[in-house]
Amino acid sequence: MEELLRIVGVIPPEYFFNKYPHHLSGGMRQRVVLARSIIPKPQFILADEPVSMVDASLRLSILDLMMKLNRELGVAFLYITHDLATARYIARRGRIAVMYLGRIVETGVLADVFERPLHPYLQALLAAAPIPDPKVAKKRKALPLKSLEVAGADAIPIGCAFHPRCPYAKEICAQEVPQLEDRENGHLVACHRAEVIPPWHLM
């Protein structure tokens, strides 16, 4: 137990042995959770929103810890999140899969996907993300979506699930579910209109 707590940065471990969860901060509780998760020496950990309940100032430390476990113990992580910034941080040397209403719409090496987003949903997400540089922010245009309404899981549209909101949608989009197709070097997109959608850098 002492060794596990040291690995995840809960130090000095003996100070925490008799503590209850409510005695620990959110960040410290997440570290204890990670310590518990590596007891059986896993090769793979599914991490669903692991930093969503952690104070913003502590999120990077938890993500750094996960990357340390990946590097030093060889643990692979499937990181699930709605936060593009933390996804970019933890998976900068990995792959990303972008989902809309339960379907993967784009996937590939994270750097390639974020640099050249091909699906209009990902383009809209990136356009809406806050930008710290005001000069860059002024040049960035929001994608003019047809609707801001998101269908419920019990009423997913026929065809491409994004077509009711997509400014590029045509009749085929409302009829057929697009399949993932490799556009270049493992960068896959599920979009009938991918070839005619303006490149990200021109938006």
Model confidence band, residue 201 (pLDDT cutoffs 50, 70, 90): low
Contact yes or no for 183/189 (Cβ under 8 A): yes
Q: How many CA atoms lie within 13 A of 66 on its CB side?
A: 26
Task: Give strand pairing partners of 99.
Answer: 104
Diameter over CA atoms, the chain = 65
- The token pair that represents 77 in the structure block: 């992580």
Q: Whole-angstrom Cα distance, residue 146 to residue 168?
A: 9
Please choose, from the candidates 76, 75, 79, 74, the residue with its C-alpha nearest in 3D space to the C-alpha of residue 63: 79
pLDDT in tens, 73-84: 999 999 999 999
pLDDT in tens, 12-68: 988 988 899 899 888 888 899 999 999 999 999 999 999 888 888 788 899 999 999
> Taking the domains of the chain in order of start, what are their residue ranges?
1-45+53-76, 118-203
Model confidence band, residue 100 (pLDDT cutoffs 50, 70, 90): very high
Higher pLDDT, 141 or 69: 69
- What is the structure's pLDDT at 133? 66
pLDDT in tens, 130-163: 766 666 666 666 677 887 788 887 889 999 999 9
Supply the pTM of this predicted model: 0.83
Based on DSSP, count helices (H) and strands (E) in the chain, helices before strands.
8, 6
Question: Above 90 in pLDDT, residue 121?
Answer: yes
pLDDT in tens, 158-200: 999 999 999 999 999 999 999 999 998 899 999 999 988 887 6
Please choose, from the candidates 174, 176, 175, 178, the residue with its C-alpha nearest in 3D space to the C-alpha of residue 164: 174
- What is the structure's pLDDT at 164? 94
- What is the structure's pLDDT at 203? 46
The mean per-residue pLDDT over the stretch 118-137 comes to 80
